[in-house]
Amino acid sequence: MNPLVSESVECLDWKHKAIQKCIEKGIFNDEPYIMLYNLEEFRAKAKEANENLKGLQTMAVKCNPVLNLLKEAINNGLGAEVASYGELIMAERAGFEPSKIIFDSPIKTKKELEYALNLGCVVNVDNFQELEVIEKIISGFSAEKQASLTLGLRINPQVDAGKLEDLSTGVPTSKFGIGMEYRDEIVAAYKRNSWLKAVHLHIGSQGFEMDQTVCAVEKVMTLVKDINVELKQQISVFNIGGGLSVNFDTEVTTPTFTQYANQLKQRVPELFDGSFLLITEFGRGYWAKCGVIVSTVEYTKTSGNRNIAIVHVGGNMCVRTIYQHPIWKLRVSIFDGKGQFKDGEQDGLYVTDLAGPLCFAADLIAKQRLLPLVSQSDYVMVHDCGAYMISAYSHYNLRLAPPIYNYNINTTELELVKKGETIQQKVDFFS
Amino acid sequence: MNPLISESVECLDWKKKAIQKSIDSGAFQNEPYLMLYNLDEFRALAKEANDNFKGLQTVAVKCNPVLNLLKEAINNGLGAEVASFGELQMAERAGFDKSKIIFDSPIKTIKELEYALNLGCIINVDNFQELEIIEKIINAFTIEKQESLSLGLRINPQVGVGKFEDLSTGVPTSKFGIAMEYKDGIVEAYKRNRWLKAVHLHVGSQGYEMEETISAIEKVMSLVEEINQQLDGQIKIFNIGGGLPINYNSETINPTFTQYGNQLKEKLPQLFDGSFLLITEFGRAYWAKCGVIVSKVEYTKTSGHRNIAIVHVGGNICIPTIYQYPVWKLRVSIFDGKGEFKSGLNDDLYQTDLAGPLCFASDLIAKQRILPLVKQSDYVMVHDCGAYLYSSYSHYNLRLAPPIYNYNSNLDQLEIIKKGETMEQKIEFFS
């Protein structure tokens, strides 16, 4: 009996079909590695979110700013949450309506605020100094323009960190938002500005149990109700960032939007009874599991009893996985030259490093992974790469960003979503 | 007596003058943050390297691929070590002579090898599969062309790990090079191919004591001398990557090229007696301490007794510092709105986070640093940023890469080296 379990993981059928199609079409003759999405998966998620959470669902552009994927989001009834001026411009370019753009950024400059306030998107204010700048700009607007605005304060509920401290945005010392400890000043701000019709919070997604998120929401809801009693229901928009952790351990989506919504409905019914417009800002929850990266294996070798396969995906695309090993472990599947899945159960398993293309030793997309023997003609598929990978692309070693395809499960055709980065673009960046 | 020591560090005079000049010339009216170099520092380091090592000094393009800085390297008698096809293109564009370009990459595709072999630059082969491809290509060349070539094998000496496992490229299981354990295969390769006239090794720089590097070199030298015995002195080029760690803890350069040169001369005199062309590949040692990043402080706040100042530099440009906290701690200095250094020696000091512009909680360029009170009108200077930071720029949150200036201390002028990234370029990357 083989006690070792292969870490070349089984995966959803569309992925098998998609890689097969790519090989068949000769995609890898020109491209050493690519991204593959299944947009039907995304559409299903967007639908589930929209059906379970009334109000406005927005997607976090930071997790996936690719133009054609933003357009896909619009087609599926989502708005855009933007965390920088660059993301705001991207969202406009994609065609999101200003009323469905939420501008959250911890570092909005005066010029950026002037632009956004003139545009009329929803703006969530990060701190009192920013509020001061905003108050000044708005006081120069007509009464009509002022009345048309919807802004919120980002409240930091100052709760505990989740499993991932790096992503815990609602802790007492978080750089984001206005700490709950400033209750009086918060109330005074709402009192002073009738265009402050929203409230915003975001404590993080990955590494949080739903319960923690809901507790933070409850805490802020208490404050909002107090303010609304004083100020005649001035706050009519409740904006919740994040909240849904993604399962990187298997192909299963868990928890689901439905489960999250049910928790909210149960614990914070005010969000569903017409008192508020509920705005959500999911990102990873929509995109992570819809996309994979597939790379050719360029070379293989053995060194010090370690099998090594060198691939084109590493710290260029997967910054967190490479720089913060072993926290962001990504599952992989090995396919042979014809696109057949290799599970290795029959063949013997080897402790293998899948080495990325970058010039430092820790650039390993998988370290000491138990895999079937990887050969030079094989392909490596890396799962759950649909969010936060291409959006944080690093130029190190001037590696080119890959093309992105959608695998259309109905027509079984590949559709180009984005061309790969060109050498000219890369050289321009440094020139 | 104040037991706290200010971590707003004293720094070299040129930096104080440079930030003053930047403010005076209005550079920050249009740019929220920028990079400042002192090229005289770079020139002095290049001269010191050239004076102490005969042979060919190359600069590792991966640490600084900026076009005008590559041109500066050419003007200072350096060649280029390139770790990817993109870097090779960049080096050609800058104008390096092909005989001074060293192509080291762990993932050279067939097309890239065809290009490089036709070009005639030096190539260091990473593994036996790559060698097979190269042999095939070269077999089709004329005898004349074959004889003109200089290629090397990258040997992994399989030594111990340095302080930074992530950067230890010469350990037994390293993804790089051909392990020493394959001695027979290595000797065979040299025997079979007369154009293998070089040998290459690289164990890492940061986190290695000079002795460790030199032990590795001695190990490889033994092998080389054996081979040269057998093959009539076939190996004429000895190519050493890295070797010099940087002092991030103060303004002092330590160790120096002179010290390293002396160590090598003592322990490996063969490298200096005409037996070999010695090729070096420094990167960090040339550039790291020549460049700083300076950012405006956009906002300040206090949360949970933590002072927070929000700046434009974080995980967009300083990936290792942000993602691998606390390993790559960078020293900072605070300057007031007029450009006066705030040492904090006679002021109250506060535990402060300098928060970057990115949308995750651990995007902190400095965490719990003891600083004088940082104000909205202040500037933050981050030291030792001249290498590996711009080169690994991350697109996350679509933050624009900063402009780069040289502070010419003779003329007391700022000279533009590279314009900042534009919004159009950023949007194009995702479109």
CATH number of the domain where residue A102 is located: 3.20.20.10
Cβ atoms B245, B208 nearer than 8 A: yes
Q: Is the pLDDT of residue A256 over 70?
A: yes
Which of A282, A312, A328 represents a domain boundary (last residue)?
Answer: A282
Question: Is A106's CB within 8 Å of B310's CB?
Answer: yes
How near does any CA of chain B get to the CA of A163, in Å?
13
Distances (CA, A) of B22 to B37, B168, B297, B394: 12, 38, 15, 25
CB contact under 8 A, A104 and B359: yes
Q: What is the mean pLDDT of residues A222-239?
A: 97
Displacement of CA B395 from its chain's centroid (Å): 20
A399–B contact, CB cutoff 8 A: yes
CATH number for the domain harbouring residue A332: 2.40.37.10
Question: pLDDT for B222-253, tens place per residue?
Answer: 999 999 999 999 999 999 998 789 999 999 99
A144 and A250 belong to one structural domain = yes
Residue B170 has a pLDDT of 78
CA-based nearest residue in chain B for residue A206? B360
A358, pLDDT greater than 90: yes
> First-to-last CA distance in chain A?
59
Question: Using CA atoms, how far apart are residues A289 and A96, in angstroms rounded to an integer?
Answer: 24
ipTM of the complex, rounded to two decimals: 0.95
- Rounded to a whole number of angstroms, the distance from the CA of A361 to the nearest CA of chain B is 5
- Residue of chain B whose Cα is closest to the Cα of A430: B66
User: Do A301 and A262 reside in the same domain of the chain?
Assistant: no
> Hey, is the C-beta of A292 within 8 angstroms of any chain B C-beta?
no
Residues 364-423 of B with CB under 8 A from A: 364, 376, 390-401, 418, 421, 423
Residue B307 forms beta bridges with which residues? B302, B352
Interface of B with A in 235-274 (CB under 8 A): none
Inter-chain contact A84–B397, Cβ cutoff 8 Å?
Answer: yes
CB contact under 8 A, B87 and A397: yes
Give A-chain residues touching B171 at CB under 8 angstroms: 304, 361
How far apart CA A166 and CA B356 sit, in angstroms, is 13
Q: Measure Cα distances from A34 to A28, A86, A290, B138 in Å.
A: 8, 25, 14, 30
Give the N- to C-terminal CA distance of chain B in Å, as an integer.
59
Distance (Å, whole) CA A91 – CA A97: 9
> Does residue A118 lie in a domain region?
yes
Taking contacts as CB-CB distances below 8 angstroms, the residues of chain B near A306 are: 172-173
Do the domain assignments include residue A324?
yes
A154 touches B at CB < 8 Å: no
Owner of token pair 């206090």: B302
Mean pLDDT of A106-130: 97
Rounded to whole angstroms, the Cα distance separating B28 from B163 reads 38
CB contact under 8 A, A430 and B362: no
B181-200 pLDDT tens trace = 999 999 999 999 999 999 99
B105, B181, B392 member nearest A395 (Cβ): B392
State whether A89 and A31 are in the same domain. Answer: no
For residue B175, give the nearest of A165, A353, A431 by CB distance. A353
Partners of A104 in the β-ladder: A124
Among chain A residues, CA nearest to B205: A360
The domain locations on chain B are 13-37+289-429, 65-282
pLDDT in tens, A265-299: 999 999 999 999 999 999 999 999 999 999 999 99
Mean pLDDT to the nearest integer, A388-417: 98
Find, in chain B, the residue whose alpha carbon is nearest to that of A166.
B362
Band of residue B163 on the pLDDT scale cut at 50, 70, 90:
confident
Cis peptide before B403, with omega less than 30 degrees from 0?
no
Shared domain check, A388 and A254 = no
Find, among A241, A243, A271, the residue nearest to A255 by Cα: A243
**Does residue A91 share a domain with residue A204?**
yes
User: So what's the pLDDT on residue A376?
Assistant: 96
A271-292 exposure pattern, b = at least 16 Cβ within 10 A, e = fewer: bbeebbbbbbbbbbbbbbbbbb
In B, minimum Cα distance to A416 occurs at B431
What phi and psi, each to the nearest 5 degrees, are found at residue B379?
-125, 150
pLDDT at position B342 over 70: yes
The dihedral through the CA atoms of B313, B318, B324, B330 has a sign that is negative
Catalytically active residues of B are 359
Chain A closest-CA separation from residue B404 CA (Å): 10
Give A108 to chain B, closest Cα distance, Å: 8
Query: Cα(B383)–Cα(B15) distance, rounded to whole angstroms?
Result: 9
pLDDT digits (tens, 9 = 90+) for A145-190: 999 999 999 999 988 888 887 878 888 899 999 999 999 999 999 9
Sorting pLDDT into bands at 50, 70 and 90, what band is A242? confident
Least confident piece of the model among B194-208, B304-318, B323-337: B194-208
CA distance A411 to A39: 13
Same domain, A268 and A354: no
**What's the pLDDT band for A3 if we cut at 50, 70, 90?**
low
Any chain B CB within 8 A of the CB of A143?
Answer: no
Assess whether pLDDT exceeds 80 at residue B263: yes
Q: Which residues 108-127 of chain A have a CB within 8 Å of chain B? A: 109, 126-127
Cβ–Cβ contact B32 with A under 8 A: yes
Do you find a cis peptide bond into B106, omega within 30 degrees of 0? no
Of B83, B299, B361, nearest to A168 by CB-CB distance is: B361
Residue among B62, B171, B323 minimizing CB distance to A396? B62
**Total structural domains in chain A?**
2
How many CA atoms lie less than 13 Å away from A245 in the CB half-sphere? 20
Query: Is residue B161 pLDDT above 90, yes or no?
Result: no
Task: Please tell me the number of Cα atoms within 13 Å of B235 on its side-chain side.
Answer: 29
Co-location of A72 and A178 in the same domain: yes
Domain boundary among A259, A282, A305: A282
- Peptide linkage before A98 cis (omega within 30 of 0): no
How many C-beta atoms lie closer than 10 Å to residue B51's C-beta? 11
Q: What is the model's pLDDT at position B45?
A: 98
- A397 and A330 belong to one structural domain: yes
- Alpha-carbon gap, residue B205 to B242, rounded angstroms: 5
Q: Do B299 and A126 touch (CB under 8 A)?
A: yes
The answer to whether residues A165 and A254 belong to one domain is yes
Average pLDDT over residues B346-363: 95
Comparing CB atoms, the residue among B107, B361, B426 nearest residue A169 is B361
pLDDT tens string B38-74:
999 999 999 999 999 989 999 999 999 999 999 999 9
pLDDT digits (tens, 9 = 90+) for B9-27: 999 999 999 999 999 999 9
Do A135 and A244 lie in one domain? The reply is yes
Distance from CA of B142 to the nearest CA of A (A): 28
Q: Are residues A228 and A244 in the same domain?
A: yes
The number of helix segments (H) and strand segments (E) in chain A equals: 14, 19
Quote the domain boundaries for residue A357.
Answer: 13-37+289-420
- Is domain B65-282 in CATH 3.30.450.20, yes or no? no
For residue B394, which residues of chain A lie inside 8 Å, CB to CB?
A: 319, 392-395
Which of B165, B353, B430 is nearest residue A67 as measured by Cβ atoms?
B430
A251 and A322 share one domain: no
Task: Give SS3 for A200.
Answer: strand
pLDDT at A291: 98
Are the C-beta atoms of residues A261 and A48 closer than 8 Å to each other? no
- CATH H superfamily, domain B13-37+289-429: Lyase, Ornithine Decarboxylase; Chain A, domain 1 (2.40.37.10)
Q: Looking at the domain assignment, is residue A428 inside a domain?
A: no
Residue A8 lies in a domain: no
List for chain A the helix, strand, coil content (%; round to 5): 35, 25, 40
| Chain B neighbors of A64, CB-CB under 8 A | none
- What is the model's pLDDT at position B210? 79
Residue B105 near chain A (CB below 8 Å): yes
> B-contacting residues of A 366-395, CB under 8 Å?
376, 390-395
Residue A297 belongs to some domain of the structure: yes
In angstroms, what separates the C-alpha of A274 from chain B's closest C-alpha?
31
B149 alpha carbon, distance to own chain's centre: 27
Q: Which residues have CB under 8 Å from B149's CB, separation 6+? A: B117, B120, B138, B141, B195
- Using DSSP's 3-state secondary structure scheme, residue B370 falls into strand
Of B173-177, B208-212, B236-240, B260-264, least confident by mean pLDDT is: B208-212
Does A51 reside within a domain?
Answer: no
Q: Answer whether residue A225 is part of any domain.
A: yes
Those of residues 296-335 in A touching chain B at CB distance below 8 A are 298-301, 303-306, 308, 310-312, 319-320, 323-324
pLDDT band (50, 70, 90) for residue A73: very high
A54 found inside a domain: no
Q: Are A303 and B156 inside 8 Å of each other by CB? A: yes
Q: Across the interface, do A357 and B156 touch by the CB < 8 Å criterion?
A: no
Q: How far is CA B421 from CA A398, B86, B429, in A?
A: 16, 19, 11
| Distance set, CA B278 to CA A244, B52, B246, B270 (Å) | 56, 11, 22, 10
Non-local (6+) Cβ contacts of B266 within 8 A are none
How high is the pLDDT of residue A207? 77
Q: Greatest CA separation found in chain A? A: 78
pLDDT at residue B2, rounded to an integer: 54
User: Under an 8 A CB cutoff, do A304 and B179 touch?
Assistant: yes
Contact of A262 with A255, CB cutoff 8 Å? no
